[in-house]
Chain A
Amino acid sequence: MKERVLSIRDLSISFKTNHGVVNAIRGIRFDLFKGETVAIVGESGSGKSVTVKAIMGILSSNGFINSGKIDFTYHRDDEVVKKDLVQLSKKEMRQHICGKRIAMVFQDPMTSLNPTMTIGEQVMEGMIHHYGTSRKEAFKKAVELLELVGITDAQKRMKSYPHQLSGGMRQRIVIAIALSCDPEILICDEPTTALDVTIQAKILQLIKDIQKKKNISVIYITHDLGVVAKVADYVAVMYAGKIIEKGSVDEIFYDPRHPYTWGLLSSMPDVNTVDEELYTIPGTPPNLLRQVPGDAFAPRNHYAMKIDYIEEPPMFNVGGKHRVSTWLAHEKAPKVSMPASLKQRIEKMKKEAE
């Protein structure tokens, strides 16, 4: 039996803005198991980052959680503790969870380090704060961490300032900071989008290695399906504040059911298929200021049905861990299958995988 570390149920989050209330997250549900990786995929504005900020309890001040639970299970010494993070106060979150149990790696390493503090200071800060580690010990551990994340000359780098390092190096530092308190969960918010392609692969490998070594669970946020394929065990596809399809990597990649997932997969650049035009999903994500009846994806959906404009689809169980929220999965819906070009693509992927 796998150990469930995090289970999110019916989470919904809104933001008060000058233009009205934005319903950024509209009832999502997913689980994270020990040592495994969940990737949350979606366009910008789909609510991926908001979801993880809610887990960390660092939503901006105009955001609030309407309903739902975020159950987090962790080990304190030999005791198993289960807490609903939604119910914890900001102070409790800071004292017991943030940085200590759940750590986060941010998108842009160029701006996520404090420019006026040395690397060492920033890596050591968390341990000293949470565990009261002595400076000497913290220094030693920080050097080890820097070595672990692949920084050469770690001793010397402790005294450097962020601007003296390259983007890739800085992201390694950010990862070292995240790991400094031995967290149960590591959240990576698009950790490679701001980096060079060559460095991307290295950082992904690094996170994977560390995950294996320390047996931590990872939530991966990305819009890049290529990254998902490399790192994830489970995938949740988000659109307009909802998870519209989720399942294991194989289920999502080899047997996608939602037209939006089809779109995402088709728009993935692929070196092998030169002759076809790169697919783009028409239109733009909906404005969450307004509540539109029916499926939020309908206006961009080539396979939209009448019902899509009337009623929001529920989650349909399509076998295994695979869930999809589209009326196409309904028994009365016409049998529509994915575009032929995508089918070919998937066949090819399957072959390569074997």
Chain B
Amino acid sequence: MNKSIMKYIGKRLLMSVITLFVIVLILFILMKLMPGTPFNDEKLTEAQRVLLYKKYGLDKSVFEQFFLYVKNLLKGDFGVSYSILKNAPISMLLGSRIGITIRIGLQSVVFGSIVGVLLGIVAAMKHNTIWDNISTFISVLGVSIPSFVFALILLIAFGREIPIFPITYDSSQPILSSILPTIALSTLTIAQVARFTRSEMIEVLDSDYMLLAEAKGLNKRTLIFKHALRNTLISIITILAPLIVGLMTGSAVIEKICGIPGIGSLLVEAITANDYNVVITLAFIYSAMYIGIMLVVDVLYSIIDPRIRLSKEDGNE
């Protein structure tokens, strides 16, 4: 059994590396295609240009350049920013920003999942009652109203009208000023988790094994928490991928609105300033994070859910 899990993890790891490699290749090609690099600046003399080309290895063959690029990426050297902070190394620009984005992202996932699961359970348990309808309505609302709209509403309400929280991010109050963005960012998570939990739970409650558990004479609490909830929660792992994609997209706007110095707002800034070296770096970081998270999730899932273990086992026999 362990052997098959190891094999699965190995396969999954290989696939992740290939995917990341393909992404790096695409990024590299994009960078080559990009018009209007600082090196095309017309004010540069021929000598200056040669110097710059040499410095960044642009005089070598494309293959060598790619090799150099990958090597630099692995070392954490992403090149320099062209316009946001002229000629500053991007790694410096990223510095603390990644931490803030990840922290707010994690806060939203945790908060959103807890609220979502609770809503979903209430809806499933009180299936076809007013509670179900309220919970469903909240989740439809959460899917329907973009998170940046929520952020705006929250800022107007609790930043301006009732000033409890700072309107823009205040780095001296990192927790307090991350509350509104966290809530705004978690709306989509709440909605998706609540919907999924509800339907999954209804299906589980309707299953034969729940009937058997009921026929054992177990009390309601044991039925829900020991039998139904566990199976429901395991399947929630399967929707983590769309959740994280949504969070990434959401964080870019939320960070812009709330003035959070994370990589999301940096991305928006870089796009507007046409600082594509930064954009490409961020694209790489986002992809790497996503692929990494998906890898961890899949591996965890394969360990947690015995059903998945089986299908792998069967595949080997």
- Give A residues with C-beta under 8 Å from B: 56, 58, 91, 93-95, 97-100, 103-104, 106-108, 111-117, 125-126, 129-130, 161, 163-164, 174, 177
Residues in B neighbouring A115, C-beta threshold 8 A? 209, 231, 306-307
Residues in A neighbouring B215, C-beta threshold 8 A? 56, 58, 98-99, 103-104, 106
Known interface pairs A58-B211, A94-B218, A117-B227; 20 further A-B residue pairs with C-beta atoms within 8 A, sorted by A's residue number:
A58-B215, A91-B219, A94-B219, A98-B217, A99-B218, A100-B217, A111-B209, A114-B212, A115-B306, A115-B307, A116-B305, A116-B307, A125-B213, A125-B216, A125-B218, A126-B216, A126-B217, A126-B218, A161-B307, A163-B310
The 9 lowest CB-CB distance pairs between A and B, nearest first, are: A98-B217, A99-B217, A99-B216, A111-B208, A161-B306, A112-B208, A163-B310, A114-B209, A104-B215
Smallest CB gap from A100: residue in B = B217
Contact residues of B: prevailing secondary structure: helix
Residues in A neighbouring B96, C-beta threshold 8 A? none
Residues of chain B in range 239-267 having any CB-CB distance to chain A below 8 Å: none
Q: Decide yes or no whether B48 CB sits under 8 A from chain A.
A: no
Whole-angstrom distance between the Cβ of A234 and the nearest chain B Cβ: 23
User: In whole angstroms, what is the CA distance A164 to B317 when docked?
Assistant: 13
Contact residues of A: prevailing secondary structure: mixed
Smallest CB gap from A187: residue in B = B215
Residues in A neighbouring B309, C-beta threshold 8 A? 161
Whole-angstrom distance between the Cβ of A247 and the nearest chain B Cβ: 29
Contact of A106 among B208, B217, B227 (CB under 8 A): B208
* Given A106-B212, A112-B212, A114-B231, also A163-B307 (CB < 8 A): yes
Residues in A neighbouring B231, C-beta threshold 8 A? 114-116
Q: Give the interface size class of chain B.
A: 20 to 34
Q: Are A112 and B230 within 8 A (Cβ)?
A: no
Q: Decide yes or no whether B134 CB sits under 8 A from chain A.
A: no
Q: Are A161 and B310 within 8 A (Cβ)?
A: yes
Whole-angstrom distance between the Cβ of B315 and the nearest chain A Cβ: 13
Q: Are B216 and A116 within 8 A (Cβ)?
A: no
Residues in B neighbouring A99, C-beta threshold 8 A? 215-218
Residues in A neighbouring B310, C-beta threshold 8 A? 161, 163-164
Whole-angstrom distance between the Cβ of A26 and the nearest chain B Cβ: 24
Residues in A neighbouring B219, C-beta threshold 8 A? 91, 94-95, 129
Contact of B214 among A58, A95, A100 (CB under 8 A): A58
Whole-angstrom distance between the Cβ of B161 and the nearest chain A Cβ: 45
Whole-angstrom distance between the Cβ of B130 and the nearest chain A Cβ: 16
Q: Decide yes or no whether B234 CB sits under 8 A from chain A.
A: yes
User: In whole angstroms, what is the CA distance A161 to B217 when docked?
Assistant: 22
Q: Are A112 and B211 within 8 A (Cβ)?
A: yes
* Given A116-B305, A129-B222, A161-B306, also A98-B214 (CB < 8 A): yes
Give the interface centre of A95, A114, A174 by most chain B CB atoms within 10 Å: A114
